[in-house]
Structure formats: C-alpha cells, structure tokens
Structure 1
Amino acid sequence: MENLSERDRAVLRSIFDPTATIGDVVDDGDNFEDEPEPATDEYKLSSSLCAQGVQLAEAGKLTEALQLLDKAVEAAPARAAAYNDRAQLYRLMQKDDEAMADLDRALQLTEGSRSRARALCLCQRGVLLRKRGADDAARRDFAAAAELGSGFAKKQIVELNPYAALCNKMLSQVMRGEKEIKL
C-alpha cells in the first residue's frame, strides 16, 4: 500500500471499512474544462436573473424565485445553466418531474460539450434518478459527470458501488460478531 495515493487509500477505506462514510473519501474537488458562455445581452440578462432567483430561493421566497428563473430561461432559451438553476428550485419545491424536464433540456443543449453546466445537470439528474430508485441510470449520469471533472459525482460512484455495499454489509456483520452472514 505504500505506492497508493491518498485518494486510492480513501476509496479502499470506503469499500472495506464498515464504519466509513462517503465523506471519508478524499474530495479532489471539481476540475472542469469550462467553456465560457457567449457574452450576448441575452446571456448576461439570464445570468443576472438566475443570480437574483437563487438569492430569493435562499431567502425562502420560492414563488418569486421561480418567476425570475422562468424569465432567465425566456431571456436565453439556449443557456443550459438557467435550466439547471430552475431545476434546482423545482427540486426544492418537490416538483421532480419539472426538474427532470429542465435537466433533460439542459443536457440536450450541452450535448457533446465538456462544460461545468453539463456536469452539474448530470449530477442533479443522477440525484433525482437515485431518489426514484433508478440506481443504474444514476450511476451512468454520475460516471459521465465524473469524467467531466465533478468531485461530487466521483463520491456518488463510490457510494453506488454494489461491491462496496456488499463488503460493508458483510464486514459490519463480522464486526458485530454475527455467526451467520446474511447477504
């Protein structure tokens, strides 16, 4: 184990230590090859409206935030980040179908790009898919986001690893001294 990186050790810890949590895995942070947005008036307006909408959402003013985020999408309908921001708000409002529709649209807009917006949409859709019990689809989205540089997605992949879950369950049973291991 002397040639392993700290990240490699953390991943092994998460797989074999039944008491480890996903937070024990080293966070490499995000490493996006971000593509700049066009500097058009429409994109600038959309970005400003999104920032204001996020502030309202953080203040608990969800209806007002939604109005601004709707305007942000209308101002620049090709701006994926606006759909991602509105999807987050929809999730806060427990409107998962609307969130999924916005994320799907944003992913269509960013098809083939390596942008931060695409990675964030993939992560957010992965979270929604997990919530719906579609772990395989979630794992695919997290893998794609991790490839784009998302540290969050990398952690989710480890957490969704079925071998890690099985090892953790068996080791937990052994640590509790159970005579028969139940899988």
Structure 2
Amino acid sequence: MINEGLMYSQQLRRNDSKERVEWAVQFLKDSEGKHAKITAAKIAEISGLSRAVLYKTHLRTLWDTKYSSLSKQVFNHNHHFDQKLKGLQEKLVHLELQLEKKEKQLERSLKENEREKLRARVYREDYEELRERHQQLLHYNLRILRKLHIHGIDTKELDGLHEDFQKQTDNKK
C-alpha cells in the first residue's frame, strides 16, 4: 500500500507541473501570437521543467496539439480494434462451444460404434455356434441315412417328412 503522504506530495508536484506548463503555453501565445509554434524546448526554458518531464502524457496533452489529436486517433483506432477483438472473442467462444458439442457427439458416436462392434462379434459367435451345430446335425442325419440304406429301407418316404418339418418351422415364425 502506498504511503498517503507520498501520494499527496506526488499530486502536489503534478499539479505544480501542470500549472507551470499551462502558464508557459499561455505566455508563449500572448507573446508570440495565437499561431505561435510551441515546442518542448521553449516551454522547458520558460517553465523550468526538463524536456523529459514535458513529454509525460499528462503534460504533453497540454502543449502538443498534434499529440492530442494523435491520441484521439489512437484511441479511435484502439476502440475500433477493441470492438473487433470483442467480436472475435465472442466468435471464439461460440466456436469453442460448437467444438465441445461436436466432440461430445463424436464421443457418443465412438461409444455407439464400439457397442455395435460388440453386438456384431456376439452375433458372429452365435452364428458360428449355430453353423457348427447344424453341421453336426447334418452329419448325424447323413449317417442315419447310410445305415437305413445299408438295411434296405427306402428313404423316399422320408422326403415327405422334410416338407412337413418346413411347414412346421414356417408356422412358428
């Protein structure tokens, strides 16, 4: 925290410097006319302040009209860029929100894809089990047919059983 006495002393010096510069500017205008060229060297000579002090912002605006208009231009220019910056920041926030939304959608899609892969793997395993089971049944049926042939039993009568079996399975669906 700054010492209040020090702050008071600095403010007094600042006010004294402003008064000296204002007095020096007025003196130059009175002595040389309204359109007199006011320079830091002339003000330093009249006011007793150094040129370095005269170029401080709070004093320079008092005597340098070009600096004042330049300050306004810089302010307007900065204001313009501040507005652009604000617009870009809002756009950035909007884009970040969209990115976050898209990342969540991608994450959900990836999870759904993994679930579908697991389902497909399970269905493939079930299919392979059923295929193996059907091959075993087919092999078993072929062995029975051979034995029936060996014993001289006519298998043409069994063809009708196959059609009856198809009708039963179709009715269950």
Same fold by TM-score greater than 0.5: no
Larger radius of gyration: 2
Specify which structure has the bigger relative contact order, considering alpha-carbon pairs within 8 angstroms and separated by 6 or more residues. Answer: 1
* TM-score, length basis structure 1: 0.28
Structure with the larger helix share: 2
TM-score relative to the length of structure 2: 0.29
